[in-house]
Amino acid sequence: MAEDCILETRNLVKEFKGFIAVNDVSLKVRRGHIHALIGPNGAGKTTVFNLLTKFLAPTRGHIQFNGQDITPERPAQIARRGIVRSFQISAVFPHLTVLENVRIALQRKLGISFHFWRSDKTLNALDGRAMELLAQVGLESFAGMVTVELPYGRKRALEIATTLALEPELMLLDEPTQGMGHEDVGLVKDLIKKVSANRTVLMVEHNMGVVADISDTITVLARGAVLAEGPYAEVSKNPAVVEAYMGTTQA
Amino acid sequence: MNRKRVGYAFLLALMLVAPAVVYPVLVMKILCFALFACAFNLLIGYTGLLSFGHAIFLGTAGYVAGHSIKVWGFPPELGLIFAALAAAALGWVIGSLAIRRSGIYFAMITLALAQMMYFFFLQAPFTGGEDGLQDVPRGKLLGVVDLADDYNLYYFVLAIFVFAFWLIHRTIHSPFGQVLKAIRENEARAISLGYDVAKYKLLAFVLSAGLAGLAGATKTLVFRFATLTDAHWHTSGEVVLMTLLGGMGTVFGPVVGAATIITLQNELADKVGSLVTVIMGAIFVVCVLAFRRGIVGELGALYKRMTGTR
Ligand SMILES: Nc1ncnc2c1ncn2[C@@H]1O[C@H](COP(=O)(O)OP(=O)(O)O)[C@@H](O)[C@H]1O
Ligand SMILES: [Mg+2]
């Protein structure tokens, strides 16, 4: 069923000056799934994200989104198509308020983002929706705070709220629980589960607890290439995976 | 906030009576450089772009205004608008080439392109080379108000400054300004939210160039001549100094910085001669080492600490 597949890569390759970081990766992400991309450090997971969102240009290979070839597009175009990513290192606008962070994402759809003669009070119309989004990630009481002052876990939650503001069809999350304490990991996990209700999530995640609990499909990457693919129960028993990855993980 | 309104009204009143106390040409010079620095600050302070060739917009507009008024007989208001548009157009060309790169490369490309224009001005016959474009008549504003009178001109220059300052203030506090701040804060994230950051940077660059041009054209009218100095990279450096000293990314910082530097230069020029350069250098070092937020930035931080607000 071709239409069931929201994102597909064909023989994706990325070389950095002769070093092959991503090697012939063909991925299929099914609509509505939470798809986890796992693998040891340096396996090429972040690079795959950069290729999918065109922050890096693939050396070879193709990317299809909803059956359309998006390989030649620019990153901002990809985002406007509904593929929105987060970053491995927290991606907030530190000196804007928490509310403004979400509003930046909401504002684009108004089509007034080039209007330098218009007062930013126009944007107050977005506050209601922004507060809803903040409430979804438990940040409504932080709305007026300058983002740089938020604790780390909250910043990551804000990132998710900002990403959700765009109502992406496909959300790419790069290690959403990295560096978080135990409770925060649980919160973010539940949050991802919750927001995946009517969209697709592709996430890089090191925490095997999270992966086992919420992902429908797992792709294991090692040295740039796909090592195994399938549901957690299957993949975790694969001897090649155990050797390449499970043995070295801290989780 | 109402206190802000009162503050602005007070400053405006002060500026209206200033020529009764201070030599109007000095205040006009300060206003021109303050506008130049505000335009520069729109880029460095609110978009995170360091243009190191900004004087070329000041200088180019100075020549365009001078030539169109003196040779083509443009009335002053038209000469200024035309010059600002010319600077904006040049900004579009230089900006389009430079924004493909970021950081130090961006700065170097703006510098290199500005240098090329500088040598063009040095050679081109209409600029008068080292002598400058002299004897530009100030003319009559809208055919009525005689700008040869320093006081008349002062109020015209003040009006230009207030308009441009308002425009910059509005730009900073507009939906566009929000996107600029987002780009300054985290460019990759702004892209991932679907913003074509290059287009936003380019518009900011063009606006900044046009307003810097307005400053240069106005300056030509004030001094009745356009000079190579305004297009020289020294002047590009000076605007960096003014902005840093006053407080980059603050609304009033560039104004305070420009006023301080111009006044100092004015006071010191006959007393210490070329030592002025050394003093400016020392100010720069002290500013960068000791109070990095600049005068307005540091005062703002102090105020916040004392009132206990964020
Ligand atoms: N821009 C780059 N230039 C050169 N090498 C890179 C670049 N980005 C990533 N790499 C290399 O590619 C490999 C994969 O990196 P990455 O995708 O970040 O791994 P992961 O996210 O799986 O930990 C690493 O060896 C890394 O050093
Ligand atoms: Mg990574």
In a domain, A11, yes or no: yes
Number of domains in chain A: 1
Atom of ligand 1 nearest to the CA of A45: 22
What pLDDT score does A137 carry? 85
Using CA atoms in the order B155, B158, B159, B162, what is the torsion angle rounded to 10 degrees?
-160
Distance CA B186, CA A91 (A): 7
Q: What percent of chain B has pLDDT over 70?
A: 98
Q: What percent of chain B has pLDDT over 90?
A: 51
Q: Which whole-number Å values give the CA distances from A213 to A129, A169, A187, A196, B185, in the listed order?
A: 30, 22, 13, 13, 35
In a domain, A164, yes or no: no
Scanning B133-196, the segments in alpha helix (DSSP H) are 150-172, 175-185, 187-192
In a domain, B43, yes or no: yes
What pLDDT score does A2 carry? 47
In a domain, A20, yes or no: yes
Q: A200: helix, coil or strand?
A: strand
CB burial class (10 A; 0-12, 13-18, 19+) of residue A186?
middle
In a domain, B258, yes or no: no
In a domain, A99, yes or no: no
By mean pLDDT, which of A47-56, B108-117, B133-142, B151-160 is the weakest? Answer: B133-142
CATH number of the domain bearing residue A67: 3.40.50.300
In a domain, A144, yes or no: no
Structural domain boundaries, residue B35:
22-232
What pLDDT score does A3 carry? 53
What pLDDT score does B75 carry? 92
Residue B213 or B8, more confident: B213
In a domain, B195, yes or no: yes
What pLDDT score does A246 carry? 52
Contact B222, B76 (CB under 8 A): no
In a domain, A21, yes or no: yes
Who's near B303: CB < 8 A, 6+ residues apart?
A: none
- Picking from A53, A95, A96, A113 by the largest number of B CB atoms within 10 A of its own CB, the best residue to mutate is A113
Distance CA A6, CA A33 (A): 10
Using CB atoms, pick whichever of B173, B185, B310 lies closest to residue A119.
B173
Distance CA B83, CA B58 (A): 10
What pLDDT score does B207 carry? 96
Using CA atoms in the order A102, A108, A111, A112, what is the torsion angle rounded to 10 degrees?
60
For atom 14 of ligand 1, the residue with the nearest CA is A44
Any atom of ligand 1 within 6 Å of the Cβ of A47: yes
What pLDDT score does A163 carry? 92
Look at A115 and B175 and tell me if their CB atoms are within 8 Å: yes
The arithmetic mean of pLDDT across residues B218-243, rounded, is 89
Closest listed residue to residue B83, CA positions, set B207, B215, B176: B215
What is the number of other CB atoms lying within 10 angstroms of the CB of residue A212? 15
Contact A31, A198 (CB under 8 A): no
In a domain, A137, yes or no: no
Distance CA B94, CA B78 (A): 24
Does B43 have pLDDT greater than 50? Answer: yes
DSSP 8-state symbol, B226: B
Number of domains in chain B: 1
What pLDDT score does B124 carry? 83
For atom 4 of ligand 1, the residue with the nearest CA is A16
pLDDT tens across B70-107, in order? 889 889 999 999 999 999 999 999 999 999 888 889 99
Structural domain boundaries, residue A233:
2-90+170-193+200-250
For atom 2 of ligand 1, the residue with the nearest CA is A16
Tokens encoding A208: 């095997």
In a domain, A73, yes or no: yes
Strands A34-38 and A200-204: what pairing?
parallel
pTM above 0.80, yes or no: yes
Distance CA B208, CA B46 (A): 11
What is the number of other CB atoms lying within 10 angstroms of the CB of residue B63? 27
What pLDDT score does A248 carry? 52
What pLDDT score does A70 carry? 93
The arithmetic mean of pLDDT across residues B274-296, rounded, is 83
pLDDT tens across B214-225, in order? 999 999 999 998
Inter-chain contacts counted by CB atoms under 8 A, chains A and B: 102
In this prediction, residue B269 has a pLDDT band, given cuts at 50, 70 and 90, of: confident
In a domain, B192, yes or no: yes
Distance CA A225, CA A234 (A): 19
Scanning chain A, the segments in alpha helix (DSSP H) are 45-52, 75-81, 98-107, 127-136, 152-165, 182-195, 208-214, 232-235, 239-244
Contact B101, B50 (CB under 8 A): no
- Quick one: which ligand is closest to A48's CA? 1
Distance CA B150, CA A102 (A): 51
pLDDT block averages, 10 residues each, chain A of length 251: 78 91 91 91 91 93 92 93 86 94 94 91 92 90 92 87 92 87 84 88 90 90 88 83 62 41
Closest residue of A to B174, CA-based? A120
